[in-house]
A and B are shown apart, each in its own frame.
Chain A
Amino acid sequence: DIQMTQSPSSLSASVGDRVTITCRASQSISSYLNWYQQKPGKAPKLLIYAASNLQSGVPSTFSGSGSGTDFTLTISSLQPEDFATYYCQQSFTTPYTFGQGTKLEI
């Protein structure tokens, strides 16, 4: 199985900050990388697909980059509603594994 490792596991930031979360795959996954946001008690929400494509309806403050084994999710200016847990997921091959999550706190 492909292992997905996110860093950091938790992050404290303030409204207006620029934040970057990284995700590393244990082998090359080309651009088959997705990012999700999850708030407590809620379902995950797709933010970025295929490494850098913004899902419809997602604010442009979110962006993704990377290919191969190293990927980043950047939030250019944190808004209050952005405080949540973020997961990367590889969709290169089954099983479609997720990272362990990054909890973004105020």
Chain B
Amino acid sequence: EIQLLESGGGLVQPGGSLRLSCAASGFTFSSYAMGWVRQAPGKGLEWVSDISGGGGRTSHADSVRGRFTISRDNSKNTVYLQMNSLGAEDTAVYFCAKAPPYCGRDSCGAFDFWGQGTVVIVSS
């Protein structure tokens, strides 16, 4: 059974940092791209970032580029999202998600399995 378990969310002051983690199980982790999608309270979905199976290719939304960095450790079956210079606009539930098999090891934008999310609140 595929499982994605996010952690690392919490309350942080504006300008602060957090590192989100997503521990994966139930599939060959290094064979799939992974991504992060967020959802602000009461709002829709926003793609944040993704990373290829080998970790060599990453993409970030303009809203987070230069502040957020996605990475992965295939030996630990874990993908990370380092978030710096956080602002109120980053308050959201952050979902970790897996790319479907038809994408190969590269991201193709779609996500077939999602974690339950971790909450990030940026407030003083």
Kindly report which residue of chain A lies nearest to residue B37, judged by CB atoms.
A44
**Tally of chain B residues near chain A (CB < 8 A):** 21
Binary interface encoding of chain B residues 63-106 relative to chain A, with 1 for a CB under 8 A from any of its CBs, else 0? 00000000000000000000000000000000100001010000
A37 to B46, CA, bound (A): 15
Q: Is B25 an interface residue (CB 8 A)?
A: no
Q: Is B123 an interface residue (CB 8 A)?
A: no
Whether A95 pairs with B61 at a CB distance below 8 angstroms is yes
A1 to B63, CA, bound (A): 12
A44 to B37, CA, bound (A): 10
Q: Which B residues are within 8 Å of any A CB, using their own CB?
A: 37, 44-47, 50, 59, 61-62, 95, 100, 102, 108-112, 114-117
Q: Which A residues are within 8 Å of any B CB, using their own CB?
A: 1, 32, 34, 36, 38, 42-46, 49-50, 55, 87, 89-92, 94-101
